Amino acid sequence: MPDDLTEFRRWILAVLDGVAADSIRQIRYLRSVGVGVDELVLELDDAVVTAQAKYREGLLDEEELALVERVGDHVDAMPPSPGPLWTEAALGEAAEWRELREAAAEAHDALAKLWVDR
């Protein structure tokens, strides 16, 4: 996990960008690294846990943490893996994935705006 705040911010934005990506880009990524669909949310889970730690350290404020956690809440509402939602086909078809991508894009954009001057 990233140690310094600038690197952490870059990493969080990259994770959110990956989760917000269209299903074709997500599938290409998953295939290129040889992992299953659940890897998308495992990276996000790492991001949420790390953001919570940064908040406890005083390096993130409540608004920043809430933006990251809100995306994690979408994942928590999904049925567990394995299952029909955890397939490449579902990435492009399921409303849950579409909603998760939208939430990740919103969080990415909001955090990028907050962090541009910090």
Structure confidence by residue, pLDDT tens digits, 13-46 = 999 999 999 999 999 999 999 999 999 899 999 9
The greatest distance separating any two alpha carbons of the chain, rounded to the nearest whole angstrom, comes to 42
Place of tokens 């659940």: 38
| pLDDT by position in tens, the chain (length 118) | 445 888 999 999 999 999 999 999 999 999 999 999 999 899 999 999 999 999 999 999 999 999 999 999 999 999 887 788 899 999 999 999 999 999 999 999 999 999 987 6
Cα distances (Å, whole numbers) of residue 68 to 9, 28, 33, 89: 11, 24, 24, 26
CA 61 to chain centre: 18
CA 65 to chain centre: 13
User: Which residues make Cβ contacts (< 8 Å) with residue 38, sequence separation at least 6?
Assistant: 81, 82, 86
Instruction: Record the pTM.
Output: 0.90
Span between the terminal Cα atoms of the chain, in Å: 21
